[in-house]
Amino acid sequence: MNAYRSLFLRELRIAVRVGGGALMGVLFFLIVVTTIPFAVGPDLNLLSRLGPAVLWIGALLSTLLGLDRLFEADREDGALDLIVGSGRMLELVVIVKVLAHWTATGLPLVIAAPLFSLFLAMPPATIGTTVLTLLVGTPALTFLGAIGAALTVSLRRGGLLVPILILPFAIPVLIFGVAASTSVLLDPAGFFTPFLLLAAVSLMAGVVGPIAAAAALRGGLD
């Protein structure tokens, strides 16, 4: 466990340090949220209805922004070969790296969402449900992104392919997240069905993602 704890802290430092991953994601998130009101206009009712969708789209794009660096640095300096050859369970290594990446890039988006929602005139109830769905759904985006990052780690400039590979699989997360966030305005009782589906997708991604990413890494190093 000490080895995995050290790996988590190492990945957390790298994610924060290299390219400013956490700050870059939050700034991109802010750009998306602040640009929409200029395009939609001063209609506060329309902005409040679109708010959850805008926050979710911004979080999705911000999450995809730094996924290409998940395994790339380890591949370039040879650390990935050492990790694979160390005999440790590669799936656990992937889980630790994904959790560190989400802590550095995904969690700041969740924390910033209540503040950014003020730009969209969202009511408090919608803000609460949107933040909750982002907290549950953004790990699924990162686990899915780990699969794309592992598939393209051996390709030169493969980071451009990661959003293309992952975006179709991220659409259900976006649909359930927005549906649960906006249901509180229409029918509060309808919140639980899309929210539970979102949680199920996150759990499934947490199980399938490390297995598929580890298999892709092994295949890419052969």
Q: Using an 8 Å Cβ cutoff, are 54 and 36 in contact? A: yes
Indicate if the pLDDT at residue 202 is higher than 60: yes
Condensed to tens digits (0 to 9), the pLDDT of residues 15-73 reads 776 555 667 888 889 898 888 888 888 788 888 888 999 999 999 998 888 787 777 76
Number of domains in the chain: 1
Tokens at 196, concatenated:
């539970």
Residues 84-143: pLDDT tens digits?
Answer: 766 678 888 889 889 988 988 889 999 999 999 988 888 888 999 999 999 999 999 999
What is the rounded distance in angstroms from the CA atom of residue 114 to the CA atom of residue 196? 22
Here the tokens at position 29 are 């998130």
Domain housing 181: 2-221
pTM over 0.85? The answer is: yes
> Cα–Cα distance between 75 and 154 in angstroms, integer?
8
